[in-house]
A and B are shown apart, each in its own frame.
Chain A
Amino acid sequence: MSFVIIPREKATPLLNFMILISSLCAGLLAVGIVFLLKGVNPFFAISEIFRASFGSFFGFKETLTKAVPLILIGSGLALVYRAKFWNIGAESQLLVGAIFGTWIGLNWGPSLPGFIILPLMFAGGFIGGGLWGLLPAIFKIKFGINEVISTLMLNYIAAEFVKFLVVGPWKGKTKYGYPYTDDLPAQAVLQHMGNSRVSLALIILAVCVALFLAFLVFRTRFGYEIRVIGENPEAARYAGINFFRTTLIMMFIGGGVAGLAGVGELSSIHLHLSYPETISAGYGFTAIIVAWLGRLHPGFTIFSGLFFAGIIVGGDAIQMSMGMPATTVNVFNGLILIFLIMGDFFINHKVRYQRRVS
């Protein structure tokens, strides 16, 4: 008796979904074991996480707030990962977007009405994040530099640059000892719904971006080129696809939407530029799992983004109520991601139980 592994041609959507759910459950089980080893009741901790994020109105509002950057970045990552371009630099593309947004908001904000300044800030953030995203694309195609390394190095460089700005030249005159820029003028701040931090405009933006990118990937020639580059670079070369041009445009969009997330955080939550850890809270990394859980479908990242926003909110909650450190959420993310890619094996292969013929 033995197991035989046969490659699977194409998994049905149902099987795909079942494997996804099983992977998630297995991931949660593994998280539970880690909690158990730490002496924490895993059922209590995990139910606490979901109760805090989806079980109350207050929690759900926070979940929505945190879902916005995850959906924006995650859908952009899904786009570029389709071409197997491993952009790990969304974190800094977000930051550069926030830098551009801050500059526009502080310099032009006071003299322009809100319906002009806000779109300008978002456009600036898109361009900023996009330009920062272009760098690794150029480095890869023209200089042969692995994009994982370059995007990571750019993360550190942008983070230090933001710190430099907020303690140095951009330090707010009204902020005394704090490492903040001045606050944005009132017209450059997004409206919130009722008594919450939820901005309806941002939610609409995130959903529209995700749907638009899904359209781009699956319904346009450009999206087709991206997918061919990822699935079969040889064929892409034969088909005469311009790698450089496609990669540049793709990364400009991918970085740009991360930049949008940066301006969103800025103009809805923080209202000033401050330390990079404050501005981003690791969204650029969590979004990697969001993209993966969404099976690299930009539209599905709406759901996976919401799910992981819930994990962040719930993680914050148990961090406060159970005295767990902030990095607990990394255990969550890491384990779930590992089980997700383990699940890929069963999507791509059939495992048959076979009696050995002797």
Chain B
Amino acid sequence: MLEILTSILVRTVVAGTPLLLGTMGEVVTERAGILNLGIEGMMSFGAVTGFIVTFTTGNPWLGMIAAIIAGALISLIHAFVTVSLRANQVVSGLALTMLGIGLSGLWGKPYIGRPLSIKMNAIAIPYLSDIPVLGQVLFYQDAYFYLSVGLGVLVWFMIKHTKVGITIRSVGENPKAAETMGINVSMVKYLCVMIGGAFAGMAGAHLSTAYSKSWIEGMTSGRGWIVIALTIFALWEPSKAFIGAYVFGGIFVIQYVLQPLGISPNLLAMLPYLTTLGVLLFYGLSSKGQRKMSAPATLGEPYIRGSR
């Protein structure tokens, strides 16, 4: 029994890791007032880049770094189009998703069906990993898990307790006031979009070089969209993103736990999406919840410098 529990928890944490990474990035982006619906595409692009670099160099760390850079670079398109050209953020994000999925399919094709010889291995933290259950769950994971937690805490601290965080929030809430304070609004937005892209790219590389060790088309399977829902679920709070990511990681795992009971796998596969809708409906039931669901004030709106 304890073994089953441990295994479920371990897999929950593993499944939650890319969600946590993606959500942290999107929280930063949206806090600066930019909605980036392109997570699925950036994640996919990160997955294929991470895979190809790991495949050719044999070093999953290089794969991770490459995926981070790739994610940040492809997100620049969204930043340019929405910040500099003030284009519609919804449509630009969708276009980015199509582009990311298309490019990764194109570049990844020769690598389909060729597994990595090496992947990001689990690292045991001395002593701590010997604790029953928790040791396996929290202290015997791959580097992506430790990094995602570390980066998550960093994002939380940055947003909540530093001047950088205040700058980002003011750009999202009241860009005109930020501008008069001497903040370069466009630059902050660009950087926050790129941070979001970097996180999404890293989440993708986790899927292709740690969670599994192969590249297949469509391997992100909607995680990018769940990340966007999780950002709302977390009410744009990094601390709540932790809860959301692992709850949804758990829902991914529950599918496989319930399958032997004879429930149709197709109905179980609906669970993450049904839960997402269910949670948002739950928030929406009360007007207090609806108010809480209110996004950063200028989310989705272009900022025009010097306008009144």
Contact = CB atoms under 8 A, between A and B. Distances in A.
Interface of A: 34, 38, 86, 88, 139, 142-146, 148-150, 152-154, 156-157, 160-161, 163-164, 167-168, 285, 288, 292, 324-335, 337-338, 341-342, 344-345, 348
Nearest to B41: A334
A152 B82 CA distance: 22
Contact of A146 (B87, B98, B222, B232): B232
A149 B267 contact: no
B298 to A, nearest CB: 16
Contact of B102 (A142, A143, A331): A331
Given A330-B102, A345-B87, A143 B285 contact: yes
A263 B276 CA distance: 29
Interface string B85-106: 1111011101111111111111
B258 to A, nearest CB: 14
A88 B94 contact: yes
Main secondary structure of the interface of B (DSSP, over half): helix
A92 B97 CA distance: 18
A233 B98 CA distance: 30
Contact of B217 (A145, A148, A167, A325): A325
Nearest to A38: B106
Contacts of A326: 105
A288 B269 CA distance: 26
Contact of A142 (B86, B273, B284): B284
A34 B97 contact: no
A325 B266 contact: no
A331 B105 CA distance: 9
Contacts of A329: 102
Interface residues on B, range: 35 or more
B106 A324 contact: yes
A45 to B, nearest CB: 12
B149 interface: no
Nearest to B287: A144
Contact of B106 (A86, A325, A337): A325
21 contacts: A34-B103, A88-B94, A154-B273, A156-B270, A157-B270, A157-B277, A161-B267, A164-B264, A167-B266, A285-B94, A325-B106, A327-B217, A330-B101, A331-B98, A334-B96, A335-B99, A338-B96, A341-B85, A341-B87, A342-B87, A345-B85
Contact of A327 (B85, B87, B96, B105): B105
A152 B293 CA distance: 18
Contacts of A149: 225, 228-229, 232, 276, 280
Contacts of A150: 277, 280
B277 A153 contact: yes
B273 A143 contact: no
B177 interface: no
A167 B266 CA distance: 9
7 closest A-B pairs by CB: A143-B284, A330-B102, A327-B105, A334-B99, A334-B98, A331-B102, A164-B266
Given A88-B94, A327-B102, A328-B105, A153 B229 contact: yes
Interface string B229-247: 1001000000000000000
Interface centre among A38, A168, A325 (most CB of B within 10 A): A325
Nearest to B86: A345
B274 interface: yes
A304 B109 CA distance: 30
Contacts of A160: 266-267, 269-270, 273
Contacts of B103: 34, 331
Contacts of A161: 266-267, 270
